[in-house]
Amino acid sequence: MKDLAGKVAVVTGAGSGFGREFARIAAGKRMNLVLADVQDDALHAVVGEVRAGGVEALGVHTDVARAEDVQELADRATAKFGAVHLLFNNAGVAGGGGYVWETSLKDWQWLLGVNLMGVVNGIRSFIPLMLREDCECHVVNTASAAGLVSAPLMSVYNVSKHAVVTLSETLFHDLRLASAKVGVSVLCPAFVPTNIRSSERNRPPELADDAPPRPSQIAARERSEKAVVSGRLSAAEVARMTFEAVRENRFYVITHPKMLASVELRMQDVLAGRNPSDPYTFKPAVKPR
């Protein structure tokens, strides 16, 4: 997609981080916006910001883990603008760290509900709309470097993001098989300073984990927070890279190319039939102690 002016973009997780920057760039390109988030104050702030720039924007409170919420988002988008051309399945949360066997069932339910089923729900509600338009459209699914390698103490997050990568790849193949005019990109950033480190602020009460954290969970949280805060690439820079990929119809959006050495090592392990190598081989400074 090269001509974005006047087209309609939908962004989930629009209240902060990548989502807010996607909204800002789309507004700068004079797109009409439908912005979704589960945190109302953050959502209203972004909607107000882009409207102040003269852009038409609709804000919709949306819990992407709920299929009915995402369907309502799609319905309101089409009622307001008649079509959707660019979809960012971007909402995501972090947590559930520590040893796999110590991770709570509620952690699995929360992260998979948002990170994976949020993307599934977006695809199910919006792809049919794009196919109906029969014009150039594009879907961006936010995954992570954690969808390409398997770092220790990150089981739930790794699983959710690996699932988004393979879901996106399958969507790409299915759309080609259907001769659709819909492009797909999967965004795989490494650590970037965003509010994802404070995801617990929006955790549903019914999925709250009341048990005190285990030592492995404390270690995972401390390492993750330190890595996120120390990230040198900004959310705005990642958003610009993503829009470049949309313009070029490029599938993989790898924002930190140095991590590809770890991806290659993992693939070599698979091809050689050997045990998994240390994913921190090329970046030992972030290895858990």
If one compares 246 and 285, the residue with the highest pLDDT of the two is 246
**Cβ burial 146-185 (10 Å sphere, 16+ → b, else e):** bbbbebbbbbbbbbbbbbbbebbeebbeebeeeebebbbb
Residue type, 45: A
Residue among 32, 118, 122 nearest 83 (CA) = 32
Q: Which residues, in sequence order, are bridge partners of residue 59?
A: 35
Catalytic status, residue 157: yes
Can you give the pTM of this predicted structure? 0.93
Write the pLDDT tens digit of every residue in 268-283: 999 999 999 999 887 7
Asked if residues 22 and 236 have their Cβ atoms less than 8 Å apart, the reply is no
Catalytic residue among 99, 157, 252, 280: 157
Residues in the chain: 289
Write the pLDDT tens digit of every residue in 166-196: 999 999 999 999 999 999 999 999 978 677 7
pLDDT at 287 over 70: no
Superfamily of domain 8-258: NAD(P)-binding Rossmann-like Domain (3.40.50.720)
